[in-house]
Amino acid sequence: MKLKLGMIGGGQGAFIGAVHRIAARIDDDYELVCGAFSSDPEKSKASGVALGLSPDRAYSSYKELIEKEKQLPADQRVQVISIVTPNHVHFEPTKMALENGFHVILDKPMTFSLAEAKELEKVVKASDKLFCLTHTYTGYPMVKEARQLVKAGKIGAVRKIYVEYPQGWLSTFLEGNDNKQAAWRTDPGKSGIAGAMGDIGTHAFNLLEYVTGLQVTQLCADINIVVEGRKLDDDGAVLLKLNNGASAVLTATQIAAGEENNVKIRVYGETGGIEWEQWDANTLKVKSNEKPMEIWRTGAGYVSSFATHNTRTPGGHPEGYLEAFANLYHNFALSIKAGIEGTTAAPEALDFPGIEDGVRGMAFIENVIASGKSDIKWTKFNV
């Protein structure tokens, strides 16, 4: 059974919309049946036609999509709506979709502000529909394995975490050169109060809390605008304290010239440590003072059911970003289908980011920016 998928945003020239569509197709769980791909009605129509949709289901706005799809017979109407717009167009379409009976997959960060995130949390809880937030890196098999090892006490109680996300693409004033991706991400009216910390810092924060199973309680942030003329942060570092007493260091920068997207996490406990980085995503390093470092690999027989469930190919065949993204879509589909069939989804299928991750991500943004402007060394992490 394929779920009927609609998309808001992601039209011609967009980056992340194509990634979402590829992810949705990998496991053959979805069929794209409609979309409102652009705020420009003509561009939306053209995008829909290019994707093979019937012209009457390439809508001119998200409101038209939701209103008209709701009127269709149940066997024809869309079931899941994927929202891949800039941050300032997350809240309203998500709220409207959920309130009108559609499941939602939403790109991160969840909303424009923490206030919107809290309001959306109420909408999700009042709805009988499911919600997924695309924090891609939690979809990697060996990230899931890292979480399971920490949870099982393989490295003892967590003491120290280092998580980093370096990029270099905004090392120059790219938004001044008619670059669409740079323009909206550095525009406070579209991105919100944060630049790098919202765009990639939220990924690092989510990865930290996901792998460790812990929550940040205090922070001390240094937030910078390095490129002259830029309106939002493009670099920063944050000291963090967690709810078990552990401490962490998080860095996120978009001005590290020559860097791409090598997000990386190291977690150290009482008896050992683990290390994962996206450039070698099939590998998890497991460390100990008592023996040589172990190299754990995707697809091996010794990994957990959570890692195995999210692996498609035999060991030695690399899987990457698109497959990790697809794992979120696949697990979300399995959970929806379980509801349709009146069964309970397996824990492995329910392991995808949701509304709580989104609220905490927005809280991270607001707390980090506030801390960066404050003279107080440590501030409470307020949600």
- Mean pLDDT throughout 315-339? 96
Q: Which of 89, 72, 79, 78 is nearest to 16 (CA)?
A: 89
- CB-CB contact of 343 with 354 (8 Å): no
pLDDT 10s digits, 14-42: 889 999 999 999 999 999 999 999 999 99
Q: Is the pLDDT of residue 12 over 90?
A: no
Q: Is the dihedral of CA 164, 140, 37, 94 positive or negative?
A: negative
User: What gap in Å lies between CA 329 and CA 189, rounded to an integer?
Assistant: 29
Q: Is the pLDDT of residue 3 over 90?
A: yes
In three-state secondary structure terms, 374 is: coil
End-to-end CA distance of the chain: 39
What is the structure's pLDDT at 364? 98
pLDDT 10s digits, 261-309: 999 999 999 999 999 999 999 999 999 999 999 999 999 999 999 999 9
What is the structure's pLDDT at 360? 98
What is the structure's pLDDT at 287? 98
- Mean pLDDT throughout 188-198? 95
User: What gap in Å lies between CA 51 and CA 112, rounded to an integer?
Assistant: 29
pTM of this structure = 0.96
341 confidence band (pLDDT: 50, 70, 90): very high
Q: Which of 105, 146, 130, 85 is nearest to 23 (CA)?
A: 105
* % of the chain surpassing 90 pLDDT: 96
Q: What is the DSSP letter of 239?
A: E
- Mean pLDDT throughout 298-326? 95
What is the structure's pLDDT at 15? 84
178 confidence band (pLDDT: 50, 70, 90): confident
Beta bridge partners of 163: 250, 265
User: What gap in Å lies between CA 128 and CA 143, rounded to an integer?
Assistant: 29
pLDDT 10s digits, 342-378: 999 999 999 999 999 999 999 999 999 999 999 999 9
Strands 264-269 and 272-277: what pairing? antiparallel
Q: Is the pLDDT of residue 153 over 90?
A: yes
In three-state secondary structure terms, 236 is: strand
CA dist list (Å): 222 to 237, 249, 371, 374, 376: 5, 11, 8, 10, 11
DSSP string, 272-328: EEEEEEGGGTTEEEEEESSSPPEEEETT-TTS-HHHHHT--S-TTS---HHHHHHHH
In three-state secondary structure terms, 10 is: coil
- Mean pLDDT throughout 183-199? 95
User: What gap in Å lies between CA 333 and CA 269, rounded to an integer?
Assistant: 35
Can you point out the beta strands (E) in the chain? 3-8, 30-36, 80-83, 103-106, 131-133, 158-166, 216-224, 235-242, 247-253, 264-269, 272-277, 283-288, 294-297, 379-380
pLDDT 10s digits, 64-96: 999 999 999 999 999 999 999 999 999 999 999
pLDDT 10s digits, 215-261: 999 999 999 999 999 999 999 999 999 999 999 999 999 999 999 99
In three-state secondary structure terms, 7 is: strand
What is the structure's pLDDT at 14? 83
